[in-house]
Amino acid sequence: MKKLLLKTILFISVSFTTGLFSQETSEVKSIKVKKEKLFIKAAFDDTEFKVIAFDVYGNPHEQAIKSFSIFYKDGKTSYQAPVEGNTFPKKTIDFLTKKKKEATKICLTNLKAEDKDGHIEDLPDLCDIVIFPDCKKVNKSR
């Protein structure tokens, strides 16, 4: 009987003291996880008329851009054209380089890039891009 009473007292004291010294006596806190973006910016390649995305390490990803909008003004009229993919449409390139006689400022908005897992990310707008018309041979006559 003494052994049973001694074991019971020892068990109660050990279970009571472990509850006092446990680590979770205060409120439980949670860990917040923030997903980092892979792509941080985009750049315009004026030789091939395409948009390229750059990751956080500065590596270019040519096929990452999935869509964007081209915005430009011609006189008092402004134009906006949505584009699927990362390359300018042939019609837009011809208009900006062959049909116009002066340089045109364009702005690329709504840039969407897709990472290797298929997640779509928004990129900041690219503005103040200047497209110059094709050079033509000029005959000077006096």
Q: What are the extents of the domains in the chain?
A: 39-131
Residue 56 reports pLDDT greater than 80: yes
Residue 72 reports pLDDT greater than 60: yes
- What is the C-alpha separation between 112 and 51, in angstroms, rounded? 11
The more confident residue out of 23 and 116 is 116
- What is the C-alpha separation between 107 and 122, in angstroms, rounded? 15
- H or E segment and range at residue 18: helix 2-20
- What is the C-alpha separation between 11 and 37, in angstroms, rounded? 54
**111: exposed, middle or buried (C-beta count within 10 Å: 0-12, 13-18, 19+)?**
buried
To the nearest whole number, what is the mean pLDDT of the chain? 83
List the single range of 31-35, 82-86, 104-108 with lowest mean pLDDT.
Answer: 31-35
